[in-house]
Each structure stands twice: as C-alpha cells, then as structure tokens.
Chain A
C-alpha cells in the first residue's frame, strides 16, 4: 500500500465527485450522503463516459452518457448491464482523503475494459 493524500473530505460535495489526474488517467473520487468515499477509474465500462460527472445516489453513480448505473464499491455495472471499471483503495482519516494508486501500476490506459473477475 502506498497512500497519497489527495484532498480533504470537504473538497468533495456530498453526493458528488471530484477528478484526480493519476499516472494512468483520471480517477473519479466520490462522496456519498453519509460521507463514505470511493475511487473509480473515471471511465464507464460501456463507452468510456466520465463517471465523475454522473449523479451519485446511494452507493452508486449513473454515467452521464447512457445512464449505466455503476456500483461505487466494486466498479461493476448493475442491473442487466455487465462490465466493470477499476476501483482503487481509498480512505478518510481526520478529514483527509487518501488514495492508493499502487495497485494501478500494472494497469495501463490501453488495457481493454474487462470483467471484474478477470481483472482480479
């Protein structure tokens, strides 16, 4: 694990998201109504839409391009859709938001979007 401080919890609006530029592309950082935070690669598994721009509800976000609903915890599409985007470890301590990008080192922008199980 290599935790990087990225912002304060207060920098993310409740039921909203911010974007962090990562070494392999943008990462969307979400905050739920009850102040849980989640981090996903900012690309919908469907057509690459920026999930950070979607509407957050419960622990899900709806992609702004074609309304796929993505689970914030796993990055997996819900309902009848299937597909998955990478989730990153994230935590909050005393109002500071920490992101762990180490796991993404092997991940490349060019990598095709794959199912969660295959992505491991």
Chain B
C-alpha cells in the first residue's frame, strides 16, 4: 500500500462513527493533507450504530442508517478495506497488518476500535441463539430468530437491553428482561422513574425478572432456557446479552500501548505513542469511558484539529445525557441525581398523566435531572446544568419548564412537535415544514442543528423555532442527539468560544483583528461574516480609545448607517430624543422626504419616523440636510442603543408620578452612540400603568411616587419576555448610574448577538444583582467605564459622512459605456 505521493499517511483502524467522524472533520480542515487508509472489520461502509434499535424494531432499514457508502470513500480518495481485521500494529516499523495479510504503513495512526458487548461468562454462553447487541450482524441474528422462534430473554435491564427487548417485542416475540438489580436503568433513573418505566413496558406486554442473577444458559446445541442462581428457570429460544459494553483494547494492548479500562489518551486524544491517536468508545480519558455518541463528536473535532496540526483544541470531558429510543416512551436523564445531604430535590409527579420530573440541586445549580413522560425541557435543564447557571431566581417555576419563566414564544408548540403533520410549518421565516426537515435529516444524515440550518434554512433566521428543530432532531436521531456541544466555537474559522476570545483580547492585550487571528490560530486568513463582526465588537468594547473600528468587518447596515431593504435601498431614521419633537423638526423631516422623493414615511414602534426607500447614493446628502435641522443618526441599524421610549409623565398626565419624558431624554443623551453586543432598547413609564411598555425592554424604568423601579432583560420580539425586577432607586441620578453600569456590564459580559434576555437567563439574575446592586463600588467602576467609552463614541456618523468621510461607500464608480440612465450626481464633499 505504498503511496506514490509524498503526503504523510494516516491509517484509521475501525470504520465506525467516531473514527469516520474524525476523518470527516479532518477533511473539512485539511482535505489534502494525508493519504488516508481505513480498515473496518465489518463488511460494509460506515453506518449509524445508534440507529440499530430502530432497525431491530423495523422502524428503519439498514440502508437508511448507512452514513458513508463506497462511492464516498472513492470520491475523497480514501482507501477502504472492508471486512479486514487488523491483527497487529508494528510500532517500530510504523505499519499495520490485517488478518488477510494486507499491510499499510502509517505516519499517523488513529485507533477507533470501539467496544464489545460484555458476554457474561456463564456455562452455555457459547450456545447457538446467544447473541450480543452491538452491530448489524447481531441485529440480523435477532431478526432471523424472531422469524422462527417465539420466546426471547434479554439479560440486562439497562438502556441497551430495553431497546433490544422492545425491538424483539415489535417483531412479535414474547420477551422477558432479566436484571440483576431491583430497578431498571439504575444508572440513569431513580426508583420512581424506573418504576413508571417498568409499568409502562409491562403494559405493552414485556415481562421482567428483577433482582435475578443468571447462573447458566441451558441447551445442547441451541439455547433452550436460562437458569438463575435462586434455582428458578425460564424457557427461551433466544438470549440477548446486553449487560454492558467494554472498550476494545485488545489490539492496543498487544501493541504495548498503555491501557487501563480503555486506551488511555490525553486531552488531545493522543495515546502514549505520539504517532497514535485514539477516539471513541475504545478510549479512556481522564479516567472516564464513554458509550454515547455526543462525546465522540467532541473527541472527533479535537482529534482532527491535532491531526491537521493546528494543535489548539482540547477535549475536557463531557457531561452526558440519556434518552431511551423506545417509541412512545419519553425518558431523559442527565448528570448526577443520586443526591446526598448537600443536595436538594425538586420533584413533580402526576401519576395520572404519567409524568415525573426530578431535579437535584446543589449550591443553587442543577446537578442532575430525571424526566419521565414529559421530556420537553430536558435540553434546557441540560444546558443550565452545563453552564452552571444559578437557578435561585427561577426556582419556583423551574419544574414547569422554560415556557413558564416569562417566555411565551413557541414553547407550547414544541410539546406537540412529534404529533404535527408533515405539512406543519416549523420555520416561519423561511417557510420550512416539518416534513422537509425530517426528510433532510435522514437523506443527508444530519446530526446537528448547524447541519439542519445549512441544508434546510430552518431556524437560520430569527431562531425562534430552534427548540422545535432540536426536538425534531432528537426524535429522528433518538437519545444520542446532543443539542449543543459543551463549548461552542465562534464559527468554523476557530475552535475558540466567544468567552475564550474575549478573555484573550483583554488578557494578552490584543488590539487589532490580525493580532487576534495570529494569537488564536485562526484557520482562515481573514475570518468570515460571522467572526469578523464579533471580533470588531469585542475589540471596540475592550479598547474603546485604542482600537480602530474596521468598517469592512461590519454588517452593511452599520457600514452604511442605514437599514438595507429587500430592494437594496436604505431607510433613514433620525434620532428623536425620548420621542419628543417639535413642529420645526417635523417640518424639516417633511421637506427632506419631499426633496429626495422618499416613497414611504412611517412611524416606528420606537417613537420615531422612518424614511424608507432611499437610494444609497442619496444618503450623505439627506443626512447633511437633516443635520442642518439638528438631527443626528438614530442608530436604528446598529447593534447599539436604539431608542428610549417614554410616556408623557407628570408634565401632562394626571396619573404621572415623575417626569418620564425628561428622564428618558437624559438616558438617551447619555447612552446614544454606544455599541452593544446586540440592539439595546430602553423605556421610561411615568407610573405603574406602564404606557411606555417598559417591562419588555432591555432596560425599563417604571416611575412610582417614591422613586424609580428598574427592570432588566425584557424582550418584545422573537420571544416575548417580561423584564426581571432589578431594584428600586430614589433619584434620577441613580437611574442614570444604574442604567450606564448595566449597559457596561452587558457590553463586557454578553456574547456578540446575545440580547439581554438570553444573557440574563444564561448567567442568572443573581449574578447581575451581585455585580450591580449589592456591590456599589463595582457599579461605580462600571458606570465610569461606560462614560469613558462614551467620550469617543458620541460622534454622529451621519455628520461625518455628510462631510465626505468614507465617500467610496456611497458613490458608485463611474458607469461604463452603454450603462442605462445618467450618472447620479456626486455628493458634495
């Protein structure tokens, strides 16, 4: 197998999901780096092992679970040896030798030998009709038995055993599950949930022998029965051993690699031999072995990164969650739910509806979750658990789910997603129906939300249907689907998360985008449309006075200082302080609208006037005319302070308690021009009737007779969310200080494109209160930093451009001969 090219050779042993995922990740990073050879012991291409249960239950066919066919390997120039088992690794000669004598030399070797089912060593374990549950071969054997025989015993009442038992039952067999412990799935479920699961399976006709230990499998050639330690026996024609899996380390051990329970690897997925990497179920990382698919994905990403010699990813272990792939039974578990004297339990039980939920809390954070019957919020709890979000503030509604914490949106629909017809529209922005998504998932073998977004556009715009798409993925893929990796990179250009990038910018004093690219090993020469705007914001927020804003890294709206419309024209929204204007200002706007023949003039929801349909080349002149009448940019196009909405307040209103308009104007004067991670809206209402709708703003002030209530984290858009009450203050000066400090905290801690609502839900209101309300000194420091950055931020971009700045942005190049129409007049400089 000597290659003609000079490329280094990569050999993969194990044509399964973990190994091939690593190869696919590697091809994404460096498609031409290696000559790749793959050895698989099984006689087919790479298939989706987690879907074996649905195949056994006849819900899917083997063809449907194939991931990469022969053509795929050929297309990517990969040599595939199917049905060849590697017998020996020659580490000195750097080659592998297969059972048929095939040899392949390697420069890098990737071990992905997976795991074997544990076959308990009892007499009769080698009889005909005794199988494991691990590969297509086992499934074929079980399906063949089910056609000829009637009775089956499954040894093992864990996840795998119950899925096997369910599949055999669906094939018409009479199935008894034998379990050593006295409750099912004891590693994933507590006694209560386990009892409900058992009752539900018994109702479907499954039998159980709990707390039974197998002593022998009976029969001469083929199995006829099973005898237990207590002397009892049961007749059967098929025995499925599903007591667990064991990492397959035989090959690695024979090659002298250090193995314990699995092949020991470090955080880069490297074994004790630097030329040999290992991923998947054969691996032991920080003392843990994994048998679920989500951790394998994360390992594959890290391993590919190192094989591509980027050398920056680290695998830090995974927290896993479990779902049972038995149609009609909803079950979710994650984390540690054993509980002790340092933990508290939140329990919800409704026997009639068959719903049970238990959350184990430790130090105000979720440590474990068990859900039965209603698993809709499983991924939410899982997220809270992984993020370590304090839950004290939402504790009273926690068990009722995400839909009950001031967040309407699509929550209710998600519970019905499985029952929806294929024609039901899931993504309202892009008009994508359930059927299209489900079809794309199976046709293109999609595993992640990002995959679904790329192929169908569902959840790719406003994102409000993300939960629905995730539950469709979970339904289609079964329990091994993990909604989001523990650490999300900013984009495909890097493996670093938003938080890591931000930390590096301040810690290492990175003050230009090129410095960030270099210091953090960006994989692309100049980023992409996702990371560049984020970096530009982070640099600007960290170094307001040093960083030179990069126009080419801003989305067009922020570069052209207007909102691009569907026909390529722009909209112009001048700032109207606190929504209060004058006849002279209105006259000036009217004159500008007429002079430039603005097709549509509209009031916005933020108490200002929108001039729509303006040609880009007209913008600077319009801004000049508006500027002469005293207007500045309204930043209606920016991830920035938008408006401060007000009601009329004590000046006119018979109910008004304070001067809400005056205070709103002060707030807007203080904060205009500031860039924020996402748009930022404020409102001031003059009394608790709240006519300015302050409780759905990022920061809302509700005036009361004795002072001012401050509310934060509201949203009236994609997901309606009422604000959380922050605190009450007595003076206008305090309102300004708290508002400035809050904006600064948001600017410094939220991720780019994260509104205040999800930010607060992620970090917890408690943390915001600690930094802002309880710590007066910190509040003063934040406020001072806000005001300092405002010193350079409050420059009207419209006036600048009316004076000729960035003229290339607005003036087209001279038309070429034959172009229709006359050239537009150049803007006066």
Residues of A participating in the B interface, judged by any CB pair closer than 8 Å:
4, 6-7, 11-16, 18-23, 26, 29, 33-34, 47, 49-50, 53-58, 60, 62, 64-67, 69, 79-80, 99, 101
Question: In the bound complex, what is the Cα–Cα distance between A7 and B811 (angstroms)?
Answer: 13
B819's nearest neighbour on chain A, judged by CB, is A21
Question: In the bound complex, what is the Cα–Cα distance between A34 and B525 (angstroms)?
Answer: 10
Are A33 and B454 interface neighbours, CB within 8 A? no
Chain A CB count within 10 A is highest, among B528, B532, B813, B818, for B813
A5's nearest neighbour on chain B, judged by CB, is B816
Chain A residues whose CB sits within 8 angstroms of the CB of B555 once the complex forms: 55, 64
- Per a CB cutoff under 8 Å, which of B526, B566, B813, B815 touches A57? B526
A19's nearest neighbour on chain B, judged by CB, is B812
Chain A residues whose CB sits within 8 angstroms of the CB of B460 once the complex forms: 67
Are A64 and B812 interface neighbours, CB within 8 A? no
Known contacts A54-B529, A57-B527: does B552 contact A15 (CB below 8 Å)? yes
Chain B residues whose CB sits within 8 angstroms of the CB of A26 once the complex forms: 812
Question: In the bound complex, what is the Cα–Cα distance between A55 and B814 (angstroms)?
Answer: 23
Are B526 and A22 interface neighbours, CB within 8 A? no
Known contacts A47-B566, A65-B564, A80-B455: does B524 contact A23 (CB below 8 Å)? no
Question: In the bound complex, what is the Cα–Cα distance between A47 and B158 (angstroms)?
Answer: 51
A-B contact pairs, 18 of them (CB 8 A): A16-B808, A18-B813, A20-B812, A21-B820, A23-B816, A23-B818, A23-B819, A33-B525, A33-B526, A49-B568, A54-B529, A55-B552, A55-B554, A55-B556, A64-B557, A67-B460, A69-B529, A80-B454
Q: A19-B812, A21-B823 are in contact. List 16 more A-B contacts (CB 8 A).
A: A11-B813, A14-B552, A18-B812, A19-B813, A20-B815, A22-B819, A23-B816, A50-B564, A53-B559, A56-B552, A58-B525, A60-B528, A66-B461, A69-B529, A79-B454, A101-B816
Chain A residues whose CB sits within 8 angstroms of the CB of B533 once the complex forms: 55
Question: In the bound complex, what is the Cα–Cα distance between A71 and B726 (angstroms)?
Answer: 48
Question: In the bound complex, what is the Cα–Cα distance between A100 and B43 (angstroms)?
Answer: 55
Chain B residues whose CB sits within 8 angstroms of the CB of A19 once the complex forms: 812-813
Are B552 and A4 interface neighbours, CB within 8 A? no
| Total count of chain B residues near the partner, CB < 8 A | 36
Question: In the bound complex, what is the Cα–Cα distance between A91 and B510 (angstroms)?
Answer: 36
Are A4 and B529 interface neighbours, CB within 8 A? no
Give chain A nearest CB distance to B578 CB in angstroms. Answer: 31
Instruction: Return the CB mask of B522-540 against A: 1 if under 8 Å, else 0.
Output: 0011111100110000000
Give chain A nearest CB distance to B604 CB in angstroms. Answer: 21
Are B566 and A18 interface neighbours, CB within 8 A? no
Are A11 and B808 interface neighbours, CB within 8 A? yes
- Within B815-829, the residues touching A (CB, 8 Å) are 815-821, 823
Question: In the bound complex, what is the Cα–Cα distance between A60 and B816 (angstroms)?
Answer: 25
Question: In the bound complex, what is the Cα–Cα distance between A45 and B525 (angstroms)?
Answer: 26
- Within B530-578, the residues touching A (CB, 8 Å) are 532-533, 551-557, 559-560, 564, 566, 568
Known contacts A18-B813, A79-B454: does B526 contact A53 (CB below 8 Å)? no
Are A57 and B529 interface neighbours, CB within 8 A? yes
Are A62 and B529 interface neighbours, CB within 8 A? yes
Question: In the bound complex, what is the Cα–Cα distance between A47 and B457 (angstroms)?
Answer: 14
Give chain A nearest CB distance to B160 CB in angstroms. Answer: 34
Residues of B participating in the A interface, judged by any CB pair closer than 8 Å:
454-455, 460-461, 524-529, 532-533, 551-557, 559-560, 564, 566, 568, 808, 812-821, 823
Q: Which 9 A-B pairs have the closest CB atoms?
A: A21-B815, A62-B529, A23-B818, A21-B819, A55-B529, A15-B552, A53-B556, A80-B454, A64-B556
- Per a CB cutoff under 8 Å, which of B532, B812, B818 touches A55? B532
Chain B residues whose CB sits within 8 angstroms of the CB of A67 once the complex forms: 460, 529
Chain A residues whose CB sits within 8 angstroms of the CB of B568 once the complex forms: 49-50, 53
A33's nearest neighbour on chain B, judged by CB, is B526
Are A6 and B529 interface neighbours, CB within 8 A? no
Chain B residues whose CB sits within 8 angstroms of the CB of A53 once the complex forms: 556, 559-560, 564, 568
Question: In the bound complex, what is the Cα–Cα distance between A55 and B513 (angstroms)?
Answer: 15
Are A64 and B564 interface neighbours, CB within 8 A? yes
Question: In the bound complex, what is the Cα–Cα distance between A13 and B813 (angstroms)?
Answer: 13
Are A23 and B820 interface neighbours, CB within 8 A? yes
Question: In the bound complex, what is the Cα–Cα distance between A99 and B557 (angstroms)?
Answer: 28
Are A16 and B552 interface neighbours, CB within 8 A? yes
Question: In the bound complex, what is the Cα–Cα distance between A17 and B815 (angstroms)?
Answer: 15
Chain A residues whose CB sits within 8 angstroms of the CB of B821 once the complex forms: 21
- Per a CB cutoff under 8 Å, which of B526, B556, B566, B813 touches A54? B556
Give chain A nearest CB distance to B563 CB in angstroms. Answer: 11
Question: In the bound complex, what is the Cα–Cα distance between A70 and B805 (angstroms)?
Answer: 29
B526's nearest neighbour on chain A, judged by CB, is A33
Question: In the bound complex, what is the Cα–Cα distance between A83 and B433 (angstroms)?
Answer: 22
A55's nearest neighbour on chain B, judged by CB, is B529
Known contacts A64-B556, A79-B454, A80-B455: does B524 contact A57 (CB below 8 Å)? yes
Give chain B nearest CB distance to A57 CB in angstroms. Answer: 5
Question: In the bound complex, what is the Cα–Cα distance between A56 and B434 (angstroms)?
Answer: 34
Question: In the bound complex, what is the Cα–Cα distance between A14 and B815 (angstroms)?
Answer: 21
Give chain B nearest CB distance to A54 CB in angstroms. Answer: 7
Chain B residues whose CB sits within 8 angstroms of the CB of A4 once the complex forms: 816-817
Question: In the bound complex, what is the Cα–Cα distance between A78 and B398 (angstroms)?
Answer: 42
Are A20 and B529 interface neighbours, CB within 8 A? no
